[in-house]
């Protein structure tokens, strides 16, 4: 006996736009609809069948570990062709809005790396859509594998800007974040004593901190390290890669940042005004002796204190959550 299964949903056309860098926050349900471009657009056709009612289960995984998944309510494919866009999953007015949503990972190190970088790290990914009919059976599955290629070289993410530009603000305990692949990394910090010197000369002549053997793409400048006083600094990451000819070095661009606490204190004052003196997150600053790191993330993306100050003072926004790390 030969059993033939006929799928009711036929995917007529698909358009996929995977950017070179995907911010982790872009995959949150509330942000999917605000991405510059849809990750995918599907055009569906519906064969004559007993049902036109479906729900969709969406998942995105890295190296077979689910990092994002969600499911829609039941909706009707009332006409064909029927177009599904990725942004529709984050739009509450859309029939395919993800009513259930979660960010998970069965591999803790993957989740930690995504959070530390703020972007999806290099690796193999899979977008999967399951179209589930009114009987609870999977009618059609669409999968799209894609790969995020390791960026050539080592790129600094935060804090600072390329040396030669006006330095951005940090504090005495920055969280240094970079991207790139290597067997280990070395972080070097120097002080800007004579601005006419090159960044290379400043790192060589006026080093203030160096730490090698790093296995992650970030380092929190903890209290056990020598304090970074107010002033201008330069920093660089060197990656060490084993090859058949020995150990090769890969160096990032030199970045610069400024330590100056006053603007950060101004932001805390603005937050206190917006959230109230009794806000638990703000009270922790004083109760636990927390100090600003100079690294500010808004919806998963790094911004400068001046940008945050401008947003808080000039835009009508509602602050949902303040988190100190």
- Do 275 and 246 sit in the same domain of this protein? no
Helix (H) or strand (E) holding 315: none
Q: Who's near 176: CB < 8 A, 6+ residues apart?
A: 158, 159, 187, 218, 219, 220, 221, 235, 237
**Nearest one of 176, 170, 161, 190 to 256, comparing CA atoms:** 161
**pLDDT tens-digit readout, 92-104:** 999 999 999 987 6
Asked if the structure places residue 3 within a domain, the reply is: no
> Which residue, 116, 148, 180, sits at the end of a domain?
148
Asked if the structure places residue 120 within a domain, the reply is: yes
Mean pLDDT value of segment 271-283 = 74
Asked if the structure places residue 2 within a domain, the reply is: no
Q: Which of 19-28, 105-114, 199-208, 244-253 is least confident?
A: 105-114
User: Would you state the pLDDT for residue 265?
Assistant: 64
Name the pairing type of β-strands 155-158 and 184-191.
unpaired
- Do 255 and 178 sit in the same domain of this protein? yes
Dihedral in degrees, nearest 10, Cα atoms 288, 291, 295, 298? 50
Q: Which of 85-94, 109-118, 215-224, 254-263 is least confident?
A: 109-118
3-state secondary structure of 280: helix
Averaging pLDDT over each range in 42-51, 144-153, 159-168, 257-266, which range is the top one?
A: 159-168
- Do 80 and 181 sit in the same domain of this protein? no
Tally of structural domains, the chain: 3
**pLDDT tens-digit readout, 18-33:** 887 787 777 888 888 8
Q: What distance in Å separates the CA atoms of residue 133 and residue 139, rounded to the nearest whole number?
A: 6
pLDDT band at 260 (very low <50, low <70, confident <90, very high): confident
User: Would you state the pLDDT for residue 66?
Assistant: 87
Asked if the structure places residue 244 within a domain, the reply is: yes
- The full DSSP string for 123-142 is EEEEEEEEEEETTS-EEEEE
User: Would you state the pLDDT for residue 87?
Assistant: 92
User: Would you state the pLDDT for residue 148?
Assistant: 82
CATH number where 107 lies: 2.60.40
User: Would you state the pLDDT for residue 18?
Assistant: 86
Mean pLDDT value of segment 285-296 = 60
pLDDT band at 1 (very low <50, low <70, confident <90, very high): very low
**pLDDT tens-digit readout, 137-162:** 998 899 999 988 766 678 888 888 89
> Which residue, 105, 128, 148, sits at the end of a domain?
148
Asked if the structure places residue 324 within a domain, the reply is: no
CATH number where 190 lies: 2.60.40.10
Q: For the chain, what is the mean pLDDT?
A: 80
Asked if the structure places residue 96 within a domain, the reply is: yes
Asked if the structure places residue 15 within a domain, the reply is: yes
- Do 73 and 94 sit in the same domain of this protein? yes
- Do 142 and 173 sit in the same domain of this protein? no
> Which residue, 237, 259, 281, sits at the end of a domain?
259
**Residues pairing with 158 in the sheet:** 177
- Do 134 and 170 sit in the same domain of this protein? no
Dihedral in degrees, nearest 10, Cα atoms 269, 271, 276, 280? -110
- Do 23 and 43 sit in the same domain of this protein? yes
- Do 42 and 87 sit in the same domain of this protein? yes
- Do 98 and 172 sit in the same domain of this protein? no
Asked if 18 contacts 38 with a C-beta cutoff of 8 angstroms, the reply is no
pLDDT band at 292 (very low <50, low <70, confident <90, very high): low
Domain that holds residue 292: 261-314
What is the separation, in whole angstroms, between the first and last Cα of the chain? Answer: 62
Q: Is the pLDDT of residue 12 over 60?
A: yes
Averaging pLDDT over each range in 58-62, 102-106, 297-301, which range is the top one?
A: 58-62
pLDDT band at 263 (very low <50, low <70, confident <90, very high): low
Q: What distance in Å separates the CA atoms of residue 191 and residue 203, rounded to the nearest whole number?
A: 7
Q: Is the pLDDT of residue 294 over 60?
A: no
3-state secondary structure of 65: strand
**pLDDT tens-digit readout, 112-124:** 556 555 677 778 8
Q: What distance in Å separates the CA atoms of residue 284 and residue 118, rounded to the nearest whole number?
A: 24
Mean pLDDT value of segment 311-318 = 66
- Do 253 and 210 sit in the same domain of this protein? yes
- Do 160 and 131 sit in the same domain of this protein? no
- Do 141 and 163 sit in the same domain of this protein? no
Question: Which H, E and C letters describe 172-235, residue by residue?
Answer: CCCEEEEECCCCEEEEEEEECCCCCCCHHHHHHHCEEEEEEEECCCEEECCCCCCCCCCEEEEE
Asked if the structure places residue 325 within a domain, the reply is: no
User: Would you state the pLDDT for residue 80?
Assistant: 79
């Amino acid at each position: 006996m030969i059993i033939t299964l006929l799928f009711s949903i036929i995917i007529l056309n698909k358009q996929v736009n995977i950017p070179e860098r995907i911010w982790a926050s872009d995959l949150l349900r509330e942000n999917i609809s605000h991405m510059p471009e849809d990750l995918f657009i599907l055009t569906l056709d519906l064969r004559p069948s007993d049902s036109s009612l479906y729900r969709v289960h969406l998942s995105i995984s890295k190296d077979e570990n689910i990092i994002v998944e969600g499911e829609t309510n039941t909706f009707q494919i009332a006409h064909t062709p029927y177009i599904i866009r990725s942004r529709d999953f984050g739009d509450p007015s859309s029939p395919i809005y993800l009513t259930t949503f979660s960010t998970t990972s069965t591999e803790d190190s993957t989740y930690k790396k995504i959070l530390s970088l703020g972007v999806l790290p290099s690796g193999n990914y899979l977008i999967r859509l399951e179209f589930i009919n009114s009987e609870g059976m999977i009618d059609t599955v669409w999968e799209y594998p894609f790969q995020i290629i390791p960026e050539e070289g080592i790129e600094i993410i935060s804090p600072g800007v390329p040396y030669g530009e006006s330095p951005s603000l940090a504090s005495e305990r920055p969280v240094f974040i970079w991207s790139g692949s290597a067997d280990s990394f070395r972080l070097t910090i120097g002080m800007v004593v004579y601005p006419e010197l090159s960044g290379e000369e400043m790192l060589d002549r006026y080093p203030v901190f160096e730490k090698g053997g790093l296995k992650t793409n970030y380092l929190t400048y903890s209290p056990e390290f020598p304090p970074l006083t107010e002033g201008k600094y330069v920093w660089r990451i060197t990656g060490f890669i084993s090859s058949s000819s020995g150990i090769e070095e890969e160096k990032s661009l030199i970045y610069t940042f400024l330590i100056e606490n006053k603007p950060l204190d101004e932001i805390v004052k603005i937050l206190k005004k917006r959230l109230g003196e009794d806000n638990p997150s703000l009270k922790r600053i004083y109760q636990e002796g927390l100090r600003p790191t100079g690294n500010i993330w808004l919806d998963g993306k790094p911004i400068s204190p001046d940008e945050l100050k401008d947003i808080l003072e000039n835009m009508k926004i509602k602050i949902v959550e303040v988190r100190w790390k």
